[in-house]
Amino acid sequence: MRLGEIIVNTCATLLLISIVAIVFLLFGEPLWPQRTARMVIILPVDRSTTAAIKNTHQPLPASFDVSIVPARPANH
């Protein structure tokens, strides 16, 4: 190759790179989409609004009749 061809090829390459750069700067779109994180903020639990205020459970009896309890199903 001659020196003139090397200079012309270098100028053509620089011109092509500058045109591509100008196009990207004008339209402003990145090649890949920008990654964004979706953050969820979990607030602390307020015990006064979530805890049971009254005891709604009935106390269990001290003893019960085993004869009225249904039999355990057989495993197959």
CA distance 2 to 9: 11
pLDDT attached to residue 37: 78
Residue whose C-alpha is closest to residue 31's, from 43, 20, 19: 20
**CB atoms inside a 10 Å sphere around CB 49:** 7
Higher-confidence residue: 48 or 23? 23
pLDDT at 18 over 90: yes
- The residue that leads in pLDDT, 2 or 58, is 2
| CA atoms of 20 and 12, how far apart (whole Å) | 12
Give the chain's length. 76
This model's pTM is above 0.75? no
Distance CA 40, CA 26 (A): 35
